[in-house]
């Protein structure tokens, strides 16, 4: 009869190093945050911009840098090292779109790149919009000023 | 239960083999044993699917040439791969006039095709049959996991799909290596749901096939000089040895795993190699050489396959696994 060996399998499966992963994610994620803040301040200083405009420009810059790093094939190694540190900031979102776009290239522009670009990022957008809608409704109903 | 081990009484032999690999496999410890290699994963082609086709075409062609045969001498080709509807093999076969059967056994395809080839030769209908399989890191990644440049963190239990293809000619004409027996696997599901740890999930399938093989033939593990598994990698190999010990078989000294042999610890492959090509290129490149130079004289190769697809994983299904075994013996002069 077929036996159940799940115990033996689980015993031999190494647990991820949570402490190391958390520490690296904190440092890398934090560094990306500090870099973004610095960039935003720099734009305000250089171009005499409003904070909101500078923030948008800063996000676009980081997206561009991530897309380039993905295209040159270095972001996946960076992501492997940093885990959530690279995944949670907008770098993760930009990478998921660029990598999917690169992957779709062999199937053509429309049905390849166009169709696969949101393959991973699509659910982020969907649930981003849904949660924004719910929170917006709560704010409208209970905290109108 | 009925026996599922077939003994070929000096009816099936291994002739020439052919292997083609990507750069990472060439850099690995077994690099010198492979017939052809490419500088990058595109293998001089436009996209990865074409690259895998070229690897498979190379492997089949080289195996026929190394056997001293022409394409017309081949009665049948059995081939399979990991890509949906077996397209890599199907498309490669456009270049051959030979009758073809496509086979799918995930990473167990190498031994699935070879054991089927052996059975067909044993039936005395065919003389020369090519058994071939291929896998490509990028084609498998995009189908089973994420885009290749995706930066998500991969766990240590994950395996790395081998880029390559392996083929061999099985024949009824006597050569120095005979295919002595084969055991057909059965599907074993050990309730694992983690597609990032397929080695662990496949280990019970491997142990099941090995134990049935030993019992059917009434032999002890040390009948063989080596018991080689396909792509259990680090995690799966440990699980296999533990299960075998629980069942009363000590095979630690005999066991090798193609997924651990093909890459060095320094290469960025997590728990080791996997994919159809893993077992194929190691068996047809390295293991065959060991037999030829008399380093070993009897070896059991157990190719393991995880029979999943991403849709079933999203539906929270467990991973059914299978293992097929083929025994090779040096022919006594």
pLDDT digits (tens, 9 = 90+) for B222-268: 999 999 999 999 999 999 999 999 999 999 999 999 999 999 999 99
Q: Are B200 and B192 in contact (CB under 8 A)?
A: yes
Please give the structure tokens belonging to residue B122: 């044993």
Q: Are B130 and B76 in contact (CB under 8 A)?
A: yes
Q: What is the pLDDT of residues A91-130, one digit of tens each?
A: 999 999 999 999 999 999 999 999 999 998 999 999 999 9
Contact B147 A120 (CB under 8 A): yes
Whether residues B187 and B311 fall in one domain: yes
Q: Kindly state the DSSP code that residue B184 receives in the 8-state scheme.
A: -
Rounded-to-integer distance, Cα B150 and Cα A75, Å: 8
| Per-residue pLDDT in tens (0 to 9) along chain B, 333 residues | 778 899 999 999 999 999 999 999 999 999 999 999 999 999 999 999 999 999 999 999 999 999 999 999 999 999 999 999 999 999 999 999 999 999 999 999 999 999 999 999 999 999 999 999 999 999 999 999 988 888 888 888 899 999 999 999 999 999 999 999 999 999 999 999 988 889 999 999 999 999 999 999 999 999 999 999 999 999 999 999 999 999 999 999 999 999 999 999 999 998 899 999 999 999 999 999 999 999 999 999 999 999 999 999 999 999 999 999 999 999 886
Whether residues B165 and B198 fall in one domain: no
Whether residues B146 and B211 fall in one domain: no
Rounded-to-integer distance, Cα A109 and Cα A111, Å: 6
Whether residues B303 and B253 fall in one domain: yes
Whether residues B15 and B157 fall in one domain: yes
Whether residues B241 and B95 fall in one domain: no
- Report the relative pairing of strands B255-257 and B226-229 from DSSP bridges: parallel
- Complex ipTM value: 0.87
Domain region containing B320? 179-330
- Tell whether B257 lies on the interface with A, counting CB pairs under 8 A: no
The residues, any chain, with a CB within 8 Å of residue B277's CB and separated by 6 or more, are: B21, B55, B110, B133, B134, B135, B136, B162, B163, B164, B165, B166
| Cα–Cα separations (whole angstroms), residue B241 to A49, A53, B255, B326 | 65, 61, 8, 19
Query: Domain containing B132 — which CATH number?
Result: 3.40.47.40
Whether residues B53 and B147 fall in one domain: yes
Whether residues B163 and B193 fall in one domain: no
- Tell whether A9 lies on the interface with B, counting CB pairs under 8 A: yes
Given B112, B138, B171, the domain boundary residue is B171
Given B137, B171, B205, the domain boundary residue is B171
Report CA torsion sign: B2, B5, B6, B9.
Answer: negative
Report CA torsion sign: B25, B26, B29, B33.
Answer: positive
Rounded-to-integer distance, Cα A4 and Cα B207, Å: 12
Three-state DSSP state, B120: helix
Whether residues B198 and B167 fall in one domain: no
Q: Which residues of A touch B201 (CB under 8 A)?
A: 9
pTM: 0.94
How many domains in chain B?
Answer: 2
First to last CA, chain B: 36
Whether residues B212 and B153 fall in one domain: no
- Tell whether A72 lies on the interface with B, counting CB pairs under 8 A: no
Q: Are B97 and B74 in contact (CB under 8 A)?
A: no
Q: Which residues of A touch B152 (CB under 8 A)?
A: 79, 87
Whether residues B158 and B200 fall in one domain: no
Whether residues B219 and B326 fall in one domain: yes
Q: What is the pLDDT of residues B88-137, one digit of tens each?
A: 999 999 999 999 999 999 999 999 999 999 999 999 999 999 999 999 99
Q: Are B127 and B172 in contact (CB under 8 A)?
A: yes
Given B119, B142, B171, the domain boundary residue is B171
């Amino acid at each position: 009869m077929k036996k159940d060996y799940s115990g033996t399998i689980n015993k031999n499966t190494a647990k991820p190093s949570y402490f190391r992963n958390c520490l690296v994610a904190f440092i890398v994620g934090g560094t990306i945050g500090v870099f973004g803040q610095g960039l935003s301040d720099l734009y305000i200083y250089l171009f005499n911009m409003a904070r909101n405009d500078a923030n948008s420009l800063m996000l676009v810059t980081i997206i561009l840098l991530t897309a380039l790093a993905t295209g040159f094939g270095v972001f996946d190694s960076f992501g492997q090292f940093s885990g959530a540190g690279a995944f949670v900031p907008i770098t993760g979102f930009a990478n998921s779109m660029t990598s999917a776009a690169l992957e779709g290239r062999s199937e053509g522009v429309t049905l390849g790149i166009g169709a696969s670009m949101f393959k991973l990022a699509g659910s982020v957008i969907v649930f981003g919009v849904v949660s924004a809608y719910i929170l917006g409704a709560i704010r409208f109903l209970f905290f109108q000023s | 239960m009925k026996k599922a081990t077939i003994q070929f009484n000096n009816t099936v032999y291994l002739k020439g083999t052919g292997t083609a690999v990507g750069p990472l496999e060439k850099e690995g410890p077994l690099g010198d044993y492979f017939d052809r290699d490419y500088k990058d994963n595109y293998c001089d082609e436009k996209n990865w699917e074409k690259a895998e086709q070229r690897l498979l075409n190379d492997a089949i062609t080289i195996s026929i040439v190394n056997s001293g045969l022409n394409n017309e001498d081949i009665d049948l080709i059995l081939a399979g791969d990991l890509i949906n509807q077996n397209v890599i093999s199907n498309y490669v076969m456009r270049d051959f006039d030979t009758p073809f059967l496509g086979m799918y056994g995930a990473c167990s395809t190498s031994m699935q095709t070879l054991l089927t080839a052996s059975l067909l030769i044993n039936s005395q209908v065919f003389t020369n049959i090519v058994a071939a399989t291929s896998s490509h890191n990028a084609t498998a990644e995009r189908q089973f996991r994420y885009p290749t440049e995706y930066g998500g963190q991969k766990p240590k239990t994950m395996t790395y799909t081998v880029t390559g293809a392996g083929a061999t000619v099985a024949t009824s004409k006597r050569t120095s290596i005979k295919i002595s027996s084969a055991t057909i696997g059965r599907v074993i599901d050990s309730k694992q749901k983690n597609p990032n740890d397929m080695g662990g999930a496949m280990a019970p399938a491997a142990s099941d096939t090995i134990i049935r093989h030993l019992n059917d033939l009434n032999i002890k593990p040390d009948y063989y000089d080596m018991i080689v598994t396909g792509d259990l990698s680090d995690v799966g190999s440990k699980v296999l040895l533990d299960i075998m010990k629980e069942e009363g078989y000590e095979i630690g000294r005999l066991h090798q795993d193609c997924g651990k042999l093909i890459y060095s610890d320094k290469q960025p492959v997590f728990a080791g190699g996997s994919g159809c090509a893993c077992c194929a290129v190691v068996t047809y490149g390295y293991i065959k050489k060991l037999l030829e130079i008399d380093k070993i004289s009897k070896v059991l190769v157990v190719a393991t396959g995880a029979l999943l697809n991403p849709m079933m994983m999203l539906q929270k299904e467990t991973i059914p696994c299978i293992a097929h075994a083929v025994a090779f013996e040096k022919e006594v002069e």
